[in-house]
Structure 1
Amino acid sequence: MDETAERILRDFTTIAVVGLSRDPAKAAHSVPAAMQSAGFRVIPVNPTADELLGERVYRSLADIPDSVEVVNVFRPSPEAAGVAREAVRIGAKALWLQQDIVSAEARAIAEEAGLLYVEDRCMAVVRAITAIRKN
């Protein structure tokens, strides 16, 4: 098990999900829903929705008025570096790229700014394996 991934889930509760989908059949919807069910606070970031998972949706990370601990990314790998820059700007503590999303540039940006970093891992799978819950 990845120690960094486990540490992120153990130490943090608030997760902004960039690319949270409206489609319940997609991982970009079911994974955040599973995290929410396990007691994590999920803040959706999606430019085309107003409410997802019963939460207000924000257009960008910069629009979120609350403190964000973890930024979880469900966007294509080429977009990850831009999300990493936004995560640094808002003072996030960790950046997590979902399964099949990999970016050397995002890793460099996050690590240079002192963020914990995980890529190419499913947050819900790691949470299930570690049995970490917030409720």
Structure 2
Amino acid sequence: MARDGLTDDQVCDLLLRTRRIAVVGASDKPGRPSNGVFGFLLQRGYDATPVNPVLNGRAVHGVPGVATLEEAGPLDMVDVFRRSEDAGHVVDEAIRLGAKSIWLQLGIWDDSAAERARAAGILIVMDRCPAIEWGRLGLPSCVPA
């Protein structure tokens, strides 16, 4: 079982029922993983918003970036591309803003923040990438309408 304790069925359900995703730490630089994953999410039909104060107003894959997580709402999922030591602050803000789920990317985990999210009734994924999980789970080419 993965470090986050989630089953394949839980991850699959999350990916298929999510519609809106705020990608914290998104980059407009094509070589960055956050740029590639953001493009992947758009290709799969998600309504995704890049969140990064550096990007404020600049587009990533044609979608204007916003400076804060609050500007990206409403939040189904918050996908986090930040270092583990910075993830807890993003998790706390996602909780405060009423996110339904939080996804910490590969190499990112914060057990304390995960406990806070779970206590708030929020599903949290850690140390995984939705693009990798999508292929591993054999999901369809796009999210169902």
Counterpart pick for 2:15 among 9, 25, 37: 9
Q: Counterpart in 2 of 1:24?
A: 30
Kindly state the Cα deviation for residue 2 of structure 1 after the two structures are TM-superposed. Answer: 2.6
Counterpart pick for 1:90 among 79, 97, 105: 97
Q: Counterpart in 1 of 2:111?
A: 104
Counterpart pick for 2:51 among 45, 50, 73: 45
Q: Counterpart in 2 of 1:134?
A: 143
Supply the AA of the counterpart residue of 1:47. Answer: P
Aligned length in residues: 134
Supply the AA of the counterpart residue of 2:12. Answer: E
CA RMSD after TM alignment: 1.4
Supply the AA of the counterpart residue of 2:123. Answer: L
Supply the AA of the counterpart residue of 2:29. Answer: D
Supply the AA of the counterpart residue of 2:60. Answer: L
Kindly state the Cα deviation for residue 3 of structure 1 after the two structures are TM-superposed. Answer: 2.7
| Contact 1:4–1:118 (CA under 8 A) maintained in structure 2 | no
SS in 2 for 1:84: helix
Kindly state the Cα deviation for residue 99 of structure 1 after the two structures are TM-superposed. Answer: 0.6
Q: Does 1:61 align with 2:69?
A: yes
Rg larger for: 2
Query: Where do 4+ consecutive residues of structure 1 move more than 2 Å?
Result: 1-4
Per-residue CA distance 1:20-65 (angstroms, 9 max, x = gap) = 012111111101111110111111101111221211211111122x
Q: Counterpart in 1 of 2:3?
A: none
Gap runs ≥5 in structure 1:
none
Kindly state the Cα deviation for residue 67 of structure 1 after the two structures are TM-superposed. Answer: 1.3
SS in 2 for 1:99: coil
- TM-score, normalised to structure 2, is 0.86
- TM-score, normalised to structure 1, is 0.92
Question: d(CA) in 2 for partners of 1:121 and 1:95?
Answer: 11
Question: d(CA) in 2 for partners of 1:98 and 1:4?
Answer: 16
